[in-house]
Copies of this chain bind each other. A is one copy, B any other.
Amino acid sequence: MAQTNTTLQRIGMKHGAGGRSMRLLIEQVLVDRTSPIANVMDDGAAIPLGDEWLILTTDSHVIHPLVFPGGDIGRLAVAGTVNDLAMMGATEPLGLTCGLILEEGFPLDDLKTIRSSMERTCTEAGAPIVSGDTKVMGRGEVDGLVLNTTGVGIARRVVRDSGLKPGDLLIVTGTLGDHGIAVMAARHQLDLGGALQSDVAPLNSLIRAALLAGGDGITAMKDPTRGGAASALHEMAEKSGVGIQLDERALPVRDEVRAAAELLGLDPLMIANEGKALLGVHPDAADIVLRAVRAHPLGRDAAVIGVCSGELRGSVVLDTGFGRRLLTEPDGELLPRIC
């Protein structure tokens, strides 16, 4: 196993927030490339199955509050898992599992609300929950409810977040920052007249349309959840070995989100999304993919936001229109329990 920093002896909040600290923790403590648990750091796994691939992905949800403007933990869990499958090319989930961990005293009515929400989201995504497990912990041993969902699907072609090539364009399927800002505003009881809503939604039908239009021209996909677009783009740049140049003026961000983010001292690029995807697209396929994405109800605000190059590999450069600066990778501790 890799040596860990000798001063680090305990887990901190930043290790669970999807940023750099978390990546280092996973790389240093949880991953040994020679062991049977080598791939713990990948969101999803692809297992060969005949001439197709079995895609397997897992996610635990600890969001606070459990219900937030635009969604709740149930919708978040189902959509999150459906989206992780879709990002690897499995747009028709075979099945999801649901692991519930409840605190003693949890209100049954809340459980029913969350269950109904999961049900609606499953219907929307065409993704059945096929198996479940329920555990109860004592009062004070878990805060309300933790929800794990794991999904399995089949992909004819596996799309990875490491497939970017110099020259590829980057498309985002819609506005950035909506989920995280809606949750943070709810926590701070910031009332902007209902204008802030999480974007949480299953993206598999949108991704299916994009793949149908773009085929092999779609070279990489990733959903910018924890750590936001900045974290996702850093990971894509690093894994793909390309530099990414972003056009700040092209980034779609709602005015309300921009305003609330300023009020809260946050950068929309660093904030979690739960209903958006970043697509790497060969320049020849960019137009047709953008058209297909925009034709979908969840993709109306899609935009080309950047381009990949062979320079500054592993880095993300933000072109502000006035100049260029390196976009830092968020360390993520600012936003605990955001998903």
On A, residues with C-beta under 8 Å from B are 1, 4, 8-17, 22, 25-26, 29-30, 32, 35-45, 47, 49-50, 54, 56-62, 94-95, 97-109, 111-112, 115, 118-119, 122-123, 127-138, 140-143, 146, 148, 150, 152, 336-337
Contacts and interface: CB of A to CB of B under 8 A. Distances in A.
A37 B98 contact: yes
In the complex, the 6 A-B pairs of residues with the closest C-beta atoms, listed nearest first: A16-B136, A45-B130, A58-B97, A40-B132, A150-B150, A37-B129
Contact of A11 (B103, B131, B143): B103
Nearest to A48: B94
A142 B102 CA distance: 11
Given A37-B118, A40-B132, A137-B336, 20 more contacts: A11-B105, A12-B104, A16-B134, A35-B119, A36-B128, A37-B115, A39-B131, A40-B129, A50-B50, A58-B132, A60-B101, A62-B135, A62-B137, A99-B148, A101-B101, A101-B146, A137-B146, A138-B143, A140-B143, A148-B148
Contacts of A112: 1, 29
A150 B97 contact: yes
B137 A140 contact: no
A72 to B, nearest CB: 15
Nearest to A111: B29
Nearest to A333: B136
Given A10-B106, A11-B104, A131-B40, A17 B136 contact: yes
Nearest to A9: B108
A109 B10 CA distance: 8
Candidate in A99, A105, A133 with the most chain B CB atoms within 10 angstroms: A133
A99 B58 contact: yes
Given A10-B105, A54-B152, A107-B9, A133 B36 contact: no
13 contacts: A10-B105, A16-B102, A16-B137, A32-B119, A37-B129, A39-B129, A42-B131, A56-B150, A58-B99, A58-B133, A60-B101, A99-B148, A148-B148
A136 to B, nearest CB: 3
A72 B186 CA distance: 39
Contacts of A32: 119
A111 B10 CA distance: 9
A108 B37 contact: no
Contacts of A61: 135
A18 B121 CA distance: 28
A60 B16 contact: no
A56 B130 contact: yes
B36 A127 contact: yes
Contact of A150 (B99, B101, B135): B99
